[in-house]
Structure 1
Amino acid sequence: MKLNYSLDDMRYFCAVAQHGSFKQAAVALDIPLSTLSRRVAKLEEDLSIRLLNRDAHRVQLTHSGQKYYERSLPLFEELNDVAVCLLQDKTQAKGTIRISAPVNFGVLVLAQHFNAFLNQYPDIHLDVRLSNQTIDIEEEAIDIAFRVGDHNAAHWIGRHLTNIHFVICGAVNLDMFQLKSPADLEGFPTVVCAPMSTWKLQHNTSGEMQTYTPSNNIRLKVDDISLLTRAIQDGIGIGFIPDYHAQPLIDSGELRQVLPEWRNQPRGCQMLYRDRDNMPFRLRLLIDFMLKRFNDNPLQKCLILTGQID
């Protein structure tokens, strides 16, 4: 048997059953009494069963009407709960945000900002997924993604946060006498960290461009900045390190910069999110928070990237 009736009619019937009166139910629903009476009658017609006994003074549920009411009312209570939760998403700073970010940038740069955000908004929770692989952010139901370099996430809005430069580093006791230009790096012991397998270098003064792809005498391949840094410090070879991680180590004498007049062209870091308008309030808070942290002023941005302030 195919049933064909309106959910609104079910809701109107439940209101009459709750109030025990068409008149009171019509006031509560803010609809004309005649419309309410007609819609409940239509529901009974569609179900081919009497739900209410009516007389001039009162309304009573039939036996079938009582069973129908008891089964229907929880459905509308659940729908109301869902509506309240959705409204809270739009107005309250609470709930979970799922985030995707690269491992190294996430640990060394983003983590301090996430922690500051959580301290400011105690009812918001972050579910952070770190990976150097390009995951399917739609498939993983990611709310906000951070990407270094170009991204191919169609229909996602990208907000630029900062630029990252990479510099060549070696152990503090490295003999750099023979290293005058990127061409001299050929065959030099090297530690390679994915995905930066090709070093696109630019001279700080002249703007000259050179590309170096380590191919000979690669002593170690890794996909983690910490492993890369440790290997370089231990003299395994030279490596290409992001400046936000390298500069504090260079300043403290733990690393030595190789060819300091050369660094890579800047790689942009972007924050991606799906919808500018219809988003939960917690997402808007995080987006605005991150933009402010990175864009307040150039000096603060530099200090934040190097971990000198939080």
Structure 2
Amino acid sequence: MKSNYSLDDLRCFCTVARLGSFTAAAEQLGIPLSTLSRRIRQLESDLQLRLLNRDAHRVVLTSTGTQYYQRCSALFEELLDIDEDLHREKYRPSGKIRVSAPINSGSYFLRDIFYEFLRRYPEIQLDLCFSNSLIDIEGEGMDVVFRVGSPIVENWIARTLKQMRFILCAPKAYDISTITTPEKLCGHPIILCRPMIPWHLQHQTTGQEFDYHPQKLVRLEVDEVGLLVHAVKSGLGIGYLPDYAALPMIAAGEIQHVLPEWHGKVRTMMMLYRERNNLPLRVRIFVEYVLACFATLKN
């Protein structure tokens, strides 16, 4: 049997077999009767099988044709179901969106946005992966990815959401009077958070840059910003904290701002999604919703 027969010819055969009439099948398929007859003959020739017995009044499946129709019709019904599902998805937001985000940014900025999005679109499911590791977003099948700093991924669109800086902070009761320059951080207890090592500092006025490489008196090393903030607040040492978390705590008197004229370089929080024309409706709506939420935050 040849393997290069036409699936469209096979669809024609299934239509004839289901309706029991060439005339009715040609009408449903929207093709001339002569074309339909020719395509059925071509299918039988390609398969080297007789599928139909024809006479002037009726069409009867051969035994082989009956077996073939029973097997093939199920396949075409499944293809029709898939086509209908995809068509519904194109016009009605539903299905799963796989999302990856850093732990702290996800908890601080994104969590409430995600929850409200799900309330608005009850037929959409979010599959969230909060991790500080740079996962293989293609291999993991992610639809949308949030990253801070160096977000470029080939064939993915990157949209800016928010800019942030890291600043130096100490416990509220800690004596910071002797820390007048970045060099004088040496000798003080330090809390590190990977991957923010070393501390890239820049003077607000002069633009002078200084990289501090903490080596001595490192009391704690973590890989999650929430733990870093809590450790500083608990009095364990000086830490390099994101401004969005640190500034409200400084204003409340919970921690101190060390070397306020120095801060980290701007880091940008980005949202990435695949660059393609036929972006699923659910993903496009999600992307637009997140962008709108962050536009509101900037105002």
Give the TM interval when normalised to the shorter protein. over 0.9
Instruction: Say which SS state the counterpart of residue 137 (structure 2) adopts.
Output: coil
2:42 matched residue in structure 1? 42
Are the equivalent residues in 2 in contact too, given 1:99–1:144 (CA < 8 A)? yes
Instruction: Say which SS state the counterpart of residue 159 (structure 2) adopts.
Output: strand
2:214 matched residue in structure 1? 214
- Residues 1:264 and 2:278 aligned together: no
1:164 matched residue in structure 2? 164
RMSD: 1.5
2:140 matched residue in structure 1? 140
- Residues 1:65 and 2:65 aligned together: yes
1:109 matched residue in structure 2? 109
Are the equivalent residues in 1 in contact too, given 2:152–2:158 (CA < 8 A)? no
Of 107-116 and 249-258, deviating more is: 249-258
Question: Deviation of residue 215 (structure 1)?
Answer: 1.5
1:9 matched residue in structure 2? 9
Question: Deviation of residue 297 (structure 1)?
Answer: 6.2
Task: State how far apart, in whole Å, the 2-side matches of 1:298 and 1:7 are.
Answer: 54
Letter of the 1:35 partner, please give it: T
- Tell me the TM-score normalised to structure 2 length: 0.95
Task: State how far apart, in whole Å, the 2-side matches of 1:294 and 1:151 are.
Answer: 18
Task: State how far apart, in whole Å, the 2-side matches of 1:275 and 1:205 are.
Answer: 40
Alpha-carbon spacing, 1:297–1:170, altered in 2? closer, same or farther (3 Å):
closer
Write out the 4+ residue segments of structure 1 that deviate beyond 4 Å after TM superposition: none
Task: State how far apart, in whole Å, the 2-side matches of 1:113 and 1:3 are.
Answer: 52
Task: State how far apart, in whole Å, the 1-side matches of 2:17 and 2:9 are.
Answer: 12
List alignment gaps of at least 5 residues for structure 2.
none
Are the equivalent residues in 1 in contact too, given 2:2–2:46 (CA < 8 A)? no
Question: Deviation of residue 88 (structure 1)?
Answer: 2.6
Are the equivalent residues in 2 in contact too, given 1:146–1:271 (CA < 8 A)? yes
Counterparts in 2 of 1:1-310, with a 5 A limit?
1-296=1-296, 298-299=298-299
Task: State how far apart, in whole Å, the 2-side matches of 1:50 and 1:140 are.
Answer: 48
Letter of the 2:154 partner, please give it: A
List alignment gaps of at least 5 residues for structure 1.
300-310
Aligned length: 299
What are the superposed Cα offsets for residues 76-98 of structure 1, whole Å, 9 maximum, x if unpaired? 01111122222233222110000
- Tell me the TM-score normalised to structure 1 length: 0.92
